[in-house]
Amino acid sequence: MKELEDRIRRDGEVKSTEILKVGSFLNHQIDVSLFNDMGAEWARLFASKHINKILTIEASGIAIAAIAAQHFGNIPVVYAKKNQSRTLDNSQYETQVYSFTKQKYYKVIVSTRYLTADDHVLLIDDFLANGNAMHGLIDLCKQAGAHVEGIGVAIEKYFEPGGRKLRSEGWDLQSLACVKSMNPQTGDVIFEENPTA
Cβ count near 136 (within 10 Å): 20
- Asked if 130 interacts with ligand 5GP (CB under 6 A), we say yes
- Considering only 36, 70, 132, 181, the residue that binds ligand 5GP (CB under 6 A) is 132
Q: How far is the CB of 118 from ligand 5GP (least distance, A)?
A: 27
- Which is nearer to ligand 5GP, 13 or 112 (by Cβ)? 13
- Considering only 35, 42, 72, 127, the residue that binds ligand 5GP (CB under 6 A) is 127
Q: How far is the CB of 73 from ligand 5GP (least distance, A)?
A: 26
Omega of the bond leading into 80 within 30 degrees of 0 (cis): no
Which range, of 16-24, 39-47, 80-88, 141-149, touches ligand 5GP by CB under 6 A?
16-24
- Asked if 125 interacts with ligand 5GP (CB under 6 A), we say yes
Q: How far is the CB of 135 from ligand 5GP (least distance, A)?
A: 8
Sign of the four-CA dihedral 197, 58, 180, 41? positive
Residues 168-187 that bind ligand 5GP (CB under 6 A): none
Which range, of 31-39, 81-89, 104-112, 124-132, touches ligand 5GP by CB under 6 A?
124-132
Transcribe 115-180 into DSSP letters: S-TT-EEEEEEEEESSSHHHHHHHHHHHHHT-EEEEEEEEEEETTSSHHHHHHHTT--EEEEEEEE
Transcribe 39-79 into DSSP letters: HHHHHHHTTTS---EEEEETTHHHHHHHHHHGGGTS--EEE
d(Cα 32, Cα 104) in Å, to the nearest integer? Answer: 31
- Asked if 12 interacts with ligand 5GP (CB under 6 A), we say no
**Region of residue 163 (phi > 0: left; psi between -120 and 50: alpha; otherwise: beta):** alpha
- Considering only 20, 77, 137, 178, the residue that binds ligand 5GP (CB under 6 A) is 20
Which range, of 4-12, 40-48, 76-84, 125-133, touches ligand 5GP by CB under 6 A?
125-133
Q: Which residues bind ligand 5GP (CB under 6 A)?
A: 19-21, 27, 60, 100-101, 125-133, 157, 162
